[in-house]
Amino acid sequence: MELACRKCNLIISQGNTCPVCNVSNLTSKWSGYIAVLNVEKSDIAKRMEIKINGAYAISING
Ligand SMILES: [Zn+2]
């Protein structure tokens, strides 16, 4: 089960620290999934305040 960062929703496939927030505030209880390939052009990225490309959980449940 992959983990997602509670702060920025980034899905972490390796290790247990978020490379964006630099914290280990991760959870396995997330749902939904979006891949942001170009933060500059993605409306979803703007709405979710995503700053770097990557895979993000849409909602964090716990
Ligand atoms: Zn994060």
Q: State the distance from the centre of ligand 1 to the C-alpha of 43, rounded, in angstroms.
A: 19
Q: State the distance from the centre of ligand 1 to the C-alpha of 61, rounded, in angstroms.
A: 15
Class of domain 3-60: mainly beta
Q: State the distance from the centre of ligand 1 to the C-alpha of 25, rounded, in angstroms.
A: 8
Structure-token match 């770097």, residue found: 52
Q: State the distance from the centre of ligand 1 to the C-alpha of 2, rounded, in angstroms.
A: 14
Looking at residue 1, its pLDDT comes to 81
pLDDT digits (tens, 9 = 90+) for 1-50: 899 999 999 999 889 999 999 999 999 999 999 999 999 999 989 988 89
